[in-house]
Amino acid sequence: MDSMSGLSTTPPVLTLTMNPTVDICCDVDHLVDIGKTRARVRYVAAGGGGINVARGVARFGGRATAVHTAGQEIGQRLNRLLDEEGIDHLALGIAGETREAFVLFETESHRSYHIVPRGPRLDDDEGRRCLDLIERAAGTHPYVVASGSLPEGLLDDFYTAVARRIRGTGSRLLLDTSGPALPESLHEAVYLRRCNRSEASYLVGRAVQSFDDARAVNEQLLAAGAAEVAITTLGELGALCSTGQGHMELHAPPLPGEPLSDAGAGDGMIAAIVTRLAEGDDPVDACALGVAAAAASMLTPGTEPFDREVAESLCPAVRISRLAS
């Protein structure tokens, strides 16, 4: 931060969200299967992978611009929510309606339920216009984050096209996606890839449960030239961060409270990592704060953002060790 102006001097981050949401988060005492369940609205906010990352970057004192689609009435509400929150954003208008997601937190059981529709269908022209927009915007941003699922209508290799466009601008791309788009994206190199256990298992066709399992995934990504930095997260264990210099285990810190939800933990992690990378940190140190941010995210219900002070207080407790050869 600039101590004179109070403004961040860190280079800004650009994020991409192809299938954003308006998240409606409610508390209920308990769900009932007959009759009405009375709910209390906790908050309503713009959501989706890249938007959540942009919000997290701002929480860490950085700057971010969120590129996203927005369609019809819910798309207008998405734009309004981002404006009210003060998140800088560039919206690409689409014909389909932006989706709404519903997050229910059951206060008696402390369980969260995240209900997410598939979202709108995009046509080829809308996909091309989004590629053009992200390419134009990327030139002034050293780091670009593409995060979240793809909407229907786009080819599974859409993120491959994103990677090509970003590489041409000289920016570095961090990619965090799932489903068929994940293996298809491996045909183009990116700077950093993050996979959770489920996504990593999908890639290699077997369960990924340990640091050794994660090493096999990361080695596959590095050997294929699909990433310079490969991160596989292992839930309560932590994460494995791998580069050409080796594999580093980052053990998750003990939680200072009861875990309430893992929704948004991955986005919080990427936000912390890209903020620190933009500040000049090396990937392992950046990943340590990422693991702490993911842990802090688990202490909030639903998709509610992590607390920055909690994340930073947990970072020193992230134990880092090199995985033996």
Active site residue 29: no
Tokens of 266: 């991955």
Catalytic one of 267, 281, 282, 285: 267
Q: Residue count of the chain, please give it.
A: 325
> C-alpha angle 252/257/262, rounded to 5°?
60
H/E/C letters for each residue in the chain?
CCCCCCCCCCCCEEEEECCCEEEEEEEECCCCCCCCCCEEEEEEEEECHHHHHHHHHHHCCCCEEEEEEEEHHHHHHHHHHHHHHCCEEEEEEECCCCEEEEEEEECCCCEEEEECCCCCECCHHHHHHHHHHHHHHHCCCCEEEEECCCCECCCCCHHHHHHHHHHHHCCEEEEECCCCHHHHHHHCCEEEEEECHHHHHHHHCCCCCCHHHHHHHHHHHHHCCCEEEEEEECHHHEEEEEECCEEEEEECCCCCCCCCCCCCHHHHHHHHHHHHHHCCCCHHHHHHHHHHHHHHHCCCCCCCCCCHHHHHHHHHHCEEEECCC
Are 265 and 311 in contact, with CB atoms under 8 Å apart? no
Contacts of 213 (CB under 8 A, 6+ apart): 200, 206, 207
Residue 238 and residue 139: Cα distance in Å, rounded?
33
Active-site residue set: 267
